Structure 1
Amino acid sequence: MERGQKIMTHFENAEQAKRDPLYKEALTELLYQFADDDFILAFRGSEWLGLAPHIEEDVAFSSITQNTMGHATFFYQLLEELGEGDADVLAHERGPESRKSAVYLEKENGDGHYLDEPFYDWALTVVRHYFYEEFKQVKLELATRSSYQPLADAAQKVLMEQPYHLAHWKMWVKQLLAAGGEAEERLRARMVEAWGEFKDVLELGPKAKQMADAHLIAGEDVIETQWVERVETTVGKISKQQLGKKQGSGRSGEHTGELTIALKTLSEVYDTDRTAIW
């Protein structure tokens, strides 16, 4: 093989990708995961509006949440370019059975309803967002080398904001661990809980091999290894047990009733006028 000759197919745009059905199949699966993960986590973040521990955090968390929903929009737009349908429809009209988001991300913030005596758990939120932002950083970095150039470009663009999100939640984790007492105990309990559920987030689903073979992103083992190394560098060893997915596999369409309720709430305004531009 001559020096510089490409050893894999590289797609510069959606029209090229559409011509290879197997490539497009793996690509759309990956993009749905990117989009749906951010979409549901942004919703869970929005439920903290006005309820965060202090006013500065309320402003910061709201900004992070808004950015995260914007990232979801980037990926839904890439799906629209591939012929999957209108981005707003993909975000709001798909049922739980078609969502590719991880189950751990749909977990409710706590007891109660946002408008009726919410008893949310800040420890759960800090752990979930910190774990997720470390994962997202890894996944985006790997995606910058994707064989699908629009995905690589989108990942690079999101990475301009991502480090700030990660730094915010890493700061919270370190502060609560250093606080000792109940704060540290509750945070560590949520980390152990997450360890038994987070493997679902780290997976790429039934088309993982297709994604890797198509050089869309590195394999699940690479994602998990890098994520574990980064998390343990910050918080130390969490559990002697292997990572688990006690709530199921969202990548394979397994979800809880909590996602159904969340999607219904998310679409309330959208459903008032589906012809509007959102």
Structure 2
Amino acid sequence: MIMETADQAAQNPGCRRALAELLYQLADDELCLGHRDSEWLGLAPDIEGDVAFSSIAQDEVGHAVFYLGLLHELGEESPDRLAFFRKAEERKNAVLLEQPNGDWARTMVRHVLYDAFDDVRTEALVNSSYRPLARGVAKIRREEHYHLLQLKPWFIRLARAGGEARKRVERAVGEVWSEAGGFFSLGDEEEEMIRSGLIACGSEELARRWEMRVKPVFDEAGLTWPGLPPAPGKDGRRGEHTEDLTELIRTMSEVVVTDSAARW
């Protein structure tokens, strides 16, 4: 069934619940990563990287605003309330995205792994039965394409540089791999998401497609492919998070908590 409006989606409670779950996952992933990206402002290794990361951070937060806006149309609270006032256990982002950046190598590794996943996920949404989501994702995919164009060469150059740079990339891969499997979870509503046509495939197929995207990058970088990541210890899609997210929410909401009249 094709749904052109939030009212149409709301007519089926199961579909509406699955749609909200999916939108929260999309929004929370982008919001967490966008804020982490913004923390590199003025700290990137060169001016080009600094400017690029500023732009990427704006894009990611802008994508979060879009998804939160769709949630508001479904009857959820305003985007500001959803972004700043939900507790950690109410968030649906993958745990890896809430963690601190670490060094530049770790940031590149995490970002390339996530951007490849987001490419696969949004590809599975371009024909979503919820047409407002499908239309928005078509524009988002064009922006995300340039993120990978900017960041993938950094990943490859660092790995192929040898010496300390390569050691840091290898260490970063080891650090993030146990959490990267959290990307693929679709939470408790996966079956309904697929049945309602909201997304074209489930978590196992997302992981398979992601591997097809990322393994060639590892080959080009001269890195050993570790195999598909295992299921993580905490599933962020089910509200299982770390203190890193609590601290991140506190930082993101400093202005709005201090001044309730401020607008995002």
Q: TM-score, normalised by structure 1?
A: 0.90
Moved over 4 A (4+): none
Higher Rg of the two aligned structures: 1
Aligned mates of 2:26, 2:260 — CA distance in 1: 24
User: Which residue of 244, 248, 255 corresponds with 1:258?
Assistant: 244
Matched AA of 2:212: E
Q: Does structure 1 retain, via aligned residues, the 8 Å contact 2:255–2:262?
A: no
Q: Does structure 2 retain, via aligned residues, the 8 Å contact 1:104–1:247?
A: no
> Aligned pair in 2 of structure 1 residues 247, 47: CA closer, same or farther (>3 Å)?
farther
Structure 1 position 195, deviation (Å): 2.1
List gaps (5 residues or longer) in structure 1: 1-8, 111-120
Aligned mates of 1:21, 1:46 — CA distance in 2: 37
2:119 corresponds to: 137
2:140 corresponds to: 158
Matched AA of 1:82: L
Aligned mates of 1:246, 1:156 — CA distance in 2: 30
Aligned mates of 2:101, 2:262 — CA distance in 1: 30
Aligned mates of 2:156, 2:70 — CA distance in 1: 36
User: Which residue of 208, 226, 233 corresponds with 2:209?
Assistant: 226
2:97 corresponds to: 105
- 176-185 or 96-105: bigger deviation: 176-185
Aligned mates of 1:196, 1:36 — CA distance in 2: 20
Q: Does structure 2 retain, via aligned residues, the 8 Å contact 1:123–1:190?
A: yes
Write the mapping of 1:53-202 to structure 2, written as runs, cut at 5 A: 53-110=45-102, 121-202=103-184
1 or 2, which has the higher helix percentage? 2
Write the mapping of 1:33-44 to structure 2, written as runs, cut at 5 A: 33-44=25-36
Aligned mates of 1:141, 1:158 — CA distance in 2: 10
User: Which residue of 10, 17, 28 corresponds with 1:18?
Assistant: 10
Structure 1 position 154, deviation (Å): 1.1
Matched AA of 1:55: I
Q: Does structure 2 retain, via aligned residues, the 8 Å contact 1:130–1:166?
A: yes
Aligned mates of 2:3, 2:51 — CA distance in 1: 40
Aligned mates of 1:258, 1:233 — CA distance in 2: 31
3-state SS in 1 of match to 2:18: helix
> Aligned pair in 2 of structure 1 residues 245, 51: CA closer, same or farther (>3 Å)?
farther
Residues 124-153 of structure 1 deviation map (CA, whole Å, 9 limit, x = unaligned): 100011101111111111111111101101
Structure 1 position 206, deviation (Å): 1.3
Matched AA of 1:231: V
How many residues end up aligned between the 2 structures?
A: 259
Structure 1 position 55, deviation (Å): 1.6
Aligned mates of 2:179, 2:139 — CA distance in 1: 29
Matched AA of 2:209: Q
1:244 corresponds to: 230
RMSD (Å) for aligned C-alpha atoms: 1.2
Aligned mates of 2:263, 2:170 — CA distance in 1: 43
Q: Does structure 1 retain, via aligned residues, the 8 Å contact 2:27–2:68?
A: yes
Structure 1 position 247, deviation (Å): 4.3
Residues 163-200 of structure 1 deviation map (CA, whole Å, 9 limit, x = unaligned): 00011111111111221112112112212332221111
List gaps (5 residues or longer) in structure 2: none
Aligned mates of 2:178, 2:241 — CA distance in 1: 16
